[in-house]
Structures are given as structure tokens and as C-alpha cells.
Chain A
Amino acid sequence: MEELKVVGETTQFIVIKLGDEQYGIDIKYIDNIVRMQHITRVPKVDNYLKGVINLRGEVIPVMSIRIKMGLEPDVETKSTRIIILKLEQHSTIGVIVDEVKEVVTLENDQIEKMAYDAKEEMKSFLCGIGKCDGGLISLLDLNSVVENI
């Protein structure tokens, strides 16, 4: 995410919730947000891959960020959503989130890059922390989230 380094630029993030923590996903990678629907299980794959869904005739794999990040498994509620991501070097994939809250625009000086801490397990999934209205948003590094699938 090179643009984070450029001074004075702004980046838009969609704020999602996983448990009590707020995460930000760069809006340019988001193709679509759909409601939770029936996911067809695929046997013999890693546990964080929940299966596949039908998105307007296309078959798209869906993964659980929670399981991938080592959190509690997803509990489906009324606000559960699937965010369809389109990353440059990867094909389309859906991720399950607890809730989609809002869109925020962050100035680059509102974003703090992650301090390197080898012990912290979560660090590899984040690329920075955004400060917005007194709250903190963990900014997801999507490439490492979908990596090694």
C-alpha cells in the first residue's frame, strides 16, 4: 500500500467489525458487499475456506477472516455480510465480516504505520492503524490476508 506514504493524500476505507475490534479495508479493493447466503461447503480444503457462493452466476470462494486470523469462529447474525474483494494479483474472493459500519476518509497523517513487533501474531495482517473521531481502526493488509490460500 504505497500510497500511504504520500503526504496529503487521502484513502477511503470501509469500516467493518470483527468482534469488538474495528477494521478498515481499502475501498479500491472492494467489488461488492452482499448479505450472508448459503455457502456450499467444499471438502478437503483449509478450514478458513468456508466454501463457494453464487454471485450473479459466478462461483466465488468465501473465506473466514476470523479463522484465518485465529479468532473465534464466525457466528451468523442479521448483520453478517460477505465482502467481495478483487485484488490485482489474485482472483475474486469473498470474506465474511460481522458487520459493515461505514465509509471513512483518512488523511495520510491520520494513519500510523505498524510498529514492528515480531512477537505479535496479528501484525502480519495489518498495514497500519487509522485514527478517526477518537476511535482506532486496524487497517487490513489484504494481500497477506488472502495469501497462502
Chain B
Amino acid sequence: MDVSQYLEIFLDETNEHLQNLNTQILSLEQEPDNMDTINEIFRAAHSLKGMAGTMGYKRMQNLTHDMENVFSEVRNGNITVKASMIDVLFQCLDALEEYTTNIRENADEGTNDNEPLIKELNLILNGDSDDDDDTAAEAAEEEAAAPVSTVDAGDKKWLEIKLGDSEQSVLKEAAKQGKGIYGLTVKVQEACILKAARAFLVFKAVEETSEIISSSPAAQDIEDEKFDLDFSLIIVSDASLEQVLTAARSVSEIEEVNGDVLDLAHLDGPAQTAVKEEAPKKEQETKPAEVTAPAPAQAAAPAAKPQAKGKKKADEKKAPANKPVVNRTVRVDIEKLDTLMNLVSELIIAKNSLVSASAASGTSSAAVNEQIEYLESTTTSLHESVMKVRMVPIESTVSKFPRMVRDLQKTLGKKMELYMSGEETELDRTVVDEIGDPLMHLLRNSADHGLESAELRKERGKPEVGSIFLEAYQDGNNVVIEVRDDGNGIDTEAVRNKAIEKGIITPEQAENMSEKDSIDLLFHAGFSTAKVVSDVSGRGVGLDVVKSKIEALSGEVEVKSKLGEGSSWIIRLPLTLAIIQALMVDIGNEKYAISLGSIQTIEDISPNDVKLVEAKEVIQIRDIVIPLVRLNIILDIESKKDPNENLVVVVVKKGDKMAGLVVDELIGQQEIVIKSLGKYINKCKIISGATVLGDGEVALILDANTLI
């Protein structure tokens, strides 16, 4: 067997453990005495060590081993948690992350030994406690294992392994050579999903020091996951029993490993006879049942037999009932979901075709209409279900930010606190993966440019510790993520001066610029107001990248700022990317779709109500002045409408801004599937895509955001 097939699981789990460690160490910093946190950290470090070890990543194993030692001392109360220690631990996590990245990219952990880190870890250990760290750690491990090693007979299933003549002779030979012969029973956690993989890792861990003579069930069955929750091994080893047990326990998701020295006398003794006695019965039983049978060693006593049999039956019944609990979630390749999504899209197009075909052929009886409506509601819920499957909470992305802000605090020498809310808000998987970088950039931006130094904050009567907020929530068909700080706000004057200096605008332009336009300058490529290029931000690539990234996800960014009070960056992302509800409109006999999400109202306006402001057409609706956009002019088509007729105006909204789009006629609301226009046609910003209508024609989708 080869470990590469478990590489994916290893990487996934390592990431989970690292994430967990990050969070836990952060909370440890807040409450250094919380025993739960310390235990959790210890467990995560321990699992990491075991996983790295079994996969053969020695450097990673060494580092985690030393980390584990530190945690173990903390757990035993020999070391108290200090700020310096937390720093070192975070550096270790970074190093581990580096290993993981290397492994992901080249299936190799790299050559960085991280000696200085290991030295520092040992310093922590030696500085505050006795120097026998290794034994201390081992002792701790044994302690942890102690409660479970008070084994009852049911855990000694290895005693019932049947040994053939050849195996017995091997054992006897080994015994003569002075090697240890042990029996092990390994119990996998009930929640474990890939039992076979775990078992394999245990095999591999054990095989490093020992030779496996026999196993129950057979190795092939274990590999095929044909066992319940435990399996037993008979091994011959040069190492001590303790070493073997530790190696086996280091595999994650292993609940317990019990073992003992196998007395060769057993082979001919009562256990062997027990096996012999049970043999005929066992042959009648199916193989998996044999595995679950917790036949204790004492089964030799004939009186115990019926009881054992009864237990077996109970276990047999229990096994299938347990299974679904374990397999409630499935990991699915995102590509498969994409295919599914495409198929749903096709189905919706087909449904639309059916609707228009039945309308055209005039066969639309009540029965047909009823069925079409039923089909419509089914496809809509099908679409919603598939969308839901693709949704993941943004938590996976934002959970790394508290750690980042903590680091920034050190590098920038400012005091700050990050408050997050709405981590459970769900977004499409692809969006969640992509949104991390822009958010990180905005947070860094707030920390570096937004928040003032502690002295200045004091002067201004603000609390010394700056606050940064990251809030996510759903708003209609959008998800809004807001990054806010209570810092200095944006100095629009400075922004304009900088823009003039950089030659982005002329001084004349600057004079007439509104606050909003000035802020928008920040998104101009190559704009960075930081006077000194710092490690944190101000590397030239900046907010323009944030903006383009978010726009690529069909989202938008809005900035609100008040000088001296802080600024907030509002990111608005659509919930769905592929299928939307749209209003179909007619402009000069061409059909266009406008996303229903951006439409505010539809108005019927008399041509006399159109006023001119600065030579631009505006209308006034309920005391709000809204600029008019003549779509036929923008789209270079001749309007088919009499200019004296009333105008049909679709009022669209983007953030606070509104615009009235003038169309010839409304066609109706429709569920449309967004198709890309491809890279040949990407110069046209106002068209965000195309869709295939029921009659097979292609209609373009107008991006209302670009028209405002």
C-alpha cells in the first residue's frame, strides 16, 4: 500500500487542525487558565504529530512533537502561559502551514528544519520546568491513556485471533530471539468516516517497529473496511509494548489501543482451546459478525457461550443501525456540483421553451397549463436545492482573520480589536474561496490606514484600543459583508492631493470633485496613500485589485466614511451566480433582461415630467430626483416608441444611488440562466451576459450597476 492515496485526507485534516489550533491559541491568550482550551490544543497538536509521522513527514513531526511537549507541560501546570510563548507558538503554526503548503504543492514537506523554533520551544520547556521534556510528555500521554488501559476482557479481542501452525512457529522463533510478542486491539472512533484509512495508518505506524503476524479480520478485509469499530493484531516487535502502543495511538480518530504481551503459553492454553471450541460455531457466522463479536477470553468457560452468542446477535443488529449516523455527510467534488448546476440550467431553458411552445401552438388547455405550472415550481425548487448544496458559511474564510489582526497589532504597534459577526452567513462555495483576499486587504487597510495610533486616539477622546468590525448578513438576494473601523476615516483632501500628484486628476478636476468621487479615487489602479510603504499595506496593488476581484464575482464595493469617526467598506455579493429572476424588456424590438434584484420600481412617466438638470434628463418620484438613462441611445438602437407617449421607466438601485432606465415596453418576469458571452465580447461593460429564451433566441442581460 502506498500513502499517497491518503494525502488528500491528510491535507484536509491538517488544515482543520491548524485552523483549530489558531483559534484555540488565540483564546488561550485571552484566558490563559482555561483548561478546556489547553486540552483541546494538546489534542490537536497530538493528532497533527501522529498524522505527520504516519505520512512520513519527519520535520513536521519533530516540530509538532516539541509543541506538544510544551502544551503537555502547560496542561500539567508546570508552565504558565505567557505572551512570548504565544508568539512562538504562532510562529510554529506558520511553519507548519508552510510545510503543509509544500506538501500540497510537491508532496514533500521541504527542507526547512525550523531549528530556531524548536530551540525556542525547548527553551520554554527548560526555562520553566525540569528538563526531562520527553519523558514528561510520554508520561502525560500515558496518563491520558491510563483510564482506558484499565482493560476489561472485552477489549482484549486479540486473544481470539486464530493462529495457524506456521504463524505459531514464527512466534516461537521470535520468542527465542528475545523479541516481544504483543497482541493489540485498536478501537476506531465511532464518528470516523474513513475507517480503512485509519486502520491503514495504524498498520503503518506499527509496522515501523514491528512485524504484523496476524490480524483479525484479515488485512484485505480491513482495507475494504469490512470491520465494525475495532480490529486486532498479533505482532512481533523489537520495540517495547509502550512504544508500539504510542505509535498506534498517535493516529487520529483512534479511540483507544489496548495491548499486552502475548504469552506463548496462551497459544496452547485456554484461549486456544476456546477458539477451537468456538470454531464450529464461528464458521456458521458471517465474517463481519465475527469481528464484532466481543467474545472475551473467558469464553472458554462453556457457561459463557450462550451469552457471547447473544451479544453477537445484538451487535449484528446494532451495526447497520449505526452506519447511517457515520455517513451522514458526503464530500463531493465541486466539479460534479457544477455539472449538476449546468444540467439544472438546461432544464430551466427547456421548461421555458415548453412554455413558449405551448403558447405558440395554441394548445394551452387548462390541463397543460396546470402541468407547466407544476413543472415550473419543481424546477425552481430544484434550482434552489442545488444552490443550497453549493452554499458554505463564510466562516472557513474569515476564521483566520482574528489571528491576522493580532499579528498586525504587533507589527503596527497599534492596539486594536476585531469584532466579527455573521460568520454563519452562507455564500456560494466559489465566492467564499475568492472573497478571502479582498477581505484581508480591507482589514489590513483599516488597521494600517484607518486606525490612529493610541496617543492620537486618546487625544481625540476615543478609547485607546481601536475597533475593527467584520459583519456579514443576508439582504434580500444579496449577501453584504461590511468592514468597518472607528479610526480616522478617509481624508478626501489628502486623497485628492495624492491623485493630483500621481497625475490621475488635474487640480481643476479636484476642485469640483464630490466627496464620493474623491473616495472612488482610492480604487484607481496604482493608488496608495500610505506615505511610507509598510509591510502591511501600500504595495501599489491595492484597492483597485479588491474592486476588480469583487466585480468579477458580480459584486460591488461601496465606501462610507466620516473624517475623524471612521470608515466602512460595504461589499455586496449576489447569492446566486448562474440563475436569476429577471425582468424582460423590449427596446427597439430587441429583448433585454434586467436583474430583478436591482429593480426598485417601475414608473409610468409623462414626457412633460422630464426635467433638465445640468443638461441631463431627470425625473422626480416621491421627492427623489432620479437621473434618466435612455437605453436606446446607450445601446445604439432606434426606439420604436412615439416620443409623445408616456415613458416606461425601470428604476434601478445600487446602494444609495438610483437611476431610471427608459425602455420601450415591458415583457414580463422570467427566470433566466446566465451564460457568459465569452472572451471575444468583453469590451461591452453594460452587458453582463446573455441568456437563451424559450424560443431559442439569445437575449442580453443588462448590468444595471454600470448604468448608475
Contact = CB atoms under 8 A, between A and B. Distances in A.
Given A40-B697, A41-B590, A43-B686, A61 B681 contact: yes
Contact of A91 (B678, B687, B697): B678
A63 B699 CA distance: 18
A63 B635 CA distance: 19
Contacts of B680: 49, 61, 63, 90-91, 93, 146, 149
Interface string A40-80: 11111110010111100111110100000000000000000
B677 A44 contact: no
Given A57-B692, A59-B690, A45 B698 contact: no
B684 A42 contact: yes
B700 interface: yes
Given A45-B684, A54-B692, A40 B698 contact: yes
B683 interface: yes
A32 B157 CA distance: 67
A92 interface: yes
Contacts of A92: 678
A63 to B, nearest CB: 8
Interface in B338-365: 346, 349
Nearest to A60: B678
A146 B679 CA distance: 12
Interface string B662-704: 0000000000000111111101101100111000111110000
Contacts of A57: 346, 349, 692
Given A43-B684, A54-B697, A61 B678 contact: yes
Given A43-B634, A53-B698, A54-B696, A59 B678 contact: yes
Nearest to B684: A44
B687 A59 contact: no
Interface in A90-111: 90-93
B224 interface: no
Nearest to B631: A43
Interface residues of B, number: 26
A119 interface: no
Contacts of A46: 683
Contacts of B604: none
B679 A52 contact: no
B357 to A, nearest CB: 15
B12 interface: no
Nearest to B683: A45
Nearest to A58: B675
B152 interface: no
B692 A59 contact: yes
A142 to B, nearest CB: 14
Contacts of B676: 59
B661 to A, nearest CB: 14
B690 A49 contact: no
B701 to A, nearest CB: 11
Contacts of B690: 40, 52, 59
A45 B636 CA distance: 11
Contacts of A45: 681, 683-684
Given A58-B675, A91-B679, A42 B696 contact: no
B605 to A, nearest CB: 24
Contacts of A146: 680
Contacts of A149: 680
A43 B592 CA distance: 12
Given A41-B590, A43-B634, A43-B636, A59 B675 contact: yes
B402 to A, nearest CB: 42
> Looking at A41, A92, A146, which has the most chain B CB atoms within 10 Å of its CB?
A41
Interface in B299-350: 346, 349
B580 to A, nearest CB: 15
A45 B635 CA distance: 11
Contacts of B349: 57
B683 A44 contact: yes
A108 to B, nearest CB: 32
Nearest to A93: B680
A58 B686 CA distance: 21
B354 to A, nearest CB: 14
A54 B678 contact: no
Contacts of B678: 59-61, 91-93
Given A52-B698, A59-B676, A43 B681 contact: no
B698 A54 contact: yes
Given A38-B697, A52-B698, A43 B692 contact: no
Interface in A120-142: none
Given A40-B690, A44-B686, A52 B697 contact: no
Interface in A15-57: 38, 40-46, 49, 51-54, 57
A52 B679 CA distance: 12
Contacts of A53: 698
Contacts of B700: 40, 42, 52
A146 B684 CA distance: 18
A91 B681 CA distance: 11
Contacts of A63: 680
Nearest to A41: B590
Interface string B584-605: 0000001000000000000000
A54 B697 CA distance: 7
Given A52-B690, A57-B346, A42 B697 contact: no
Nearest to B692: A54
Nearest to B637: A43
Contacts of B634: 43
Interface in B134-152: none
B636 A44 contact: yes
Nearest to B676: A59
Contacts of A59: 675-678, 690-692, 698
Nearest to A53: B698
Contacts of B699: 40
Interface in B246-280: none
A119 to B, nearest CB: 30
A75 B122 CA distance: 83
Given A44-B684, A91-B679, A93-B678, 9 more contacts: A40-B690, A43-B634, A43-B635, A45-B684, A58-B675, A59-B690, A59-B691, A61-B680, A93-B680
Interface of B: 346, 349, 590, 634-637, 675-681, 683-684, 686-687, 690-692, 696-700
Shortest beta-carbon contacts, A-B, top 8: A40-B698, A59-B675, A43-B635, A44-B684, A59-B690, A149-B680, A61-B680, A54-B692
18 contacts: A40-B590, A41-B590, A43-B635, A43-B637, A44-B684, A45-B683, A46-B683, A49-B680, A49-B681, A52-B700, A57-B349, A57-B692, A59-B675, A61-B678, A61-B681, A63-B680, A93-B678, A146-B680
